[in-house]
Amino acid sequence: MSDGPFAELSGVTRTYGGVAVLEDVSLAVRPGVTAVIGPNGSGKSTLLGVLAGAVDPTDGRVRYVGPAVDRAIGYLPQRVPFREEFTARETLAFYARLAGDDPDESLERVGLSDAADRRVGALSGGMRRLLGIAQATVGDPPLVVLDEPASGLDPGMCERAFRTAADASGADTAVVVSSHDLDLVDEHADRVVVLDRGRVVAAGPRDRLCSDRGVDDVAGLYRAVVAGDAVGADEGVREERSAVHVTGVSER
């Protein structure tokens, strides 16, 4: 498999009411797991929506290449409008048929086999989030984008959600997730993208970013590039804004 990009964002800006939520973002989306982190309001959900094809950029363009050209893209937004009266299996059955997949296998991947016949309205918040991940990954799409897959979950469910996302990635699959849990990002992400006020302030392989800034983990990286307390942080930010490689995803 090639390490070439599955999607490319070039000069993407998104404004709402004249306010730029994303500003001049250029990314190459590659296989593996990338975590998008940043303060509240930094543009994470908007970036993931653009990658997923759910949000149109105000300026700039998104181009899909490689396996992403002809395949459906998996997308989990922060809020999924499930039909409360459907069972977990019924919820996935329609998408599984379209993708030639088995809904029971999708449920098994996220640990929901025992809840297959339970109605969505009776599922816990964590189980609904796992069901959303199952829906986004049904049919093994080459690109999967998950917006806060562990949001509102207890620690055990958070770990399961992230582990499921990581398991979905591979040589032929790119997964991008947004998260505030920097410990889980440290454990599961291959690459990290840090957003601040709509701009990419750091992006690249997790270990390299930490090493370049003399920090031990993603929490230290976050403090360095958002708070600017690492030696040479400004120079690194300028360099990486011009050449960013991101693991991620898109849906059209």
Secondary structure of residue 211 in the 3-state scheme: helix
DSSP 173: B
pLDDT attached to residue 152: 75
User: pLDDT-based confidence at 91, cuts 50/70/90?
Assistant: very high
Q: Find the mean pLDDT for residues 172-195.
A: 92
* pLDDT at residue number 251: 38
CA distance 98 to 94: 7
How far the first Cα of the chain sits from its last, in Å, is 23
Query: 24: exposed, middle or buried (C-beta count within 10 Å: 0-12, 13-18, 19+)?
Result: middle
Residues in the chain: 252
Report the SS3 class of residue 99. Answer: helix
Burial class for 235, CB neighbours closer than 10 Å (0-12, 13-18, 19+): exposed
Question: Taking the mean position of all CA atoms in its chain, how far away is CA 193?
Answer: 10
Instruction: Give which of 240, 216, 243, 244 is closest to 230, Cα–Cα.
Output: 216
Question: Using 50, 70 and 90 to split pLDDT, how confident is the model at 237?
Answer: very low
pLDDT, average across residues 87-114:
90
CB 195 within 8 A of CB 201: yes
Confidence of residue 238 (pLDDT cuts 50, 70, 90): very low
pLDDT band at 69 (very low <50, low <70, confident <90, very high): low
Convert the pLDDT of each residue in 101-131 to its tens digit.
Answer: 899 999 998 889 999 999 999 998 889 999 9
In the predicted model, what is the mean pLDDT of residues 161-189? 89
Average pLDDT value over all residues in the chain: 85
- Scanning the chain, the segments in alpha helix (DSSP H) are 44-51, 88-99, 103-109, 125-137, 155-168, 182-188, 206-212, 218-227, 233-241
Whether the pLDDT of residue 139 is over 90: the answer is no
Q: What is the CATH code of the structural domain delimited by 7-67+142-232?
A: 3.40.50.300
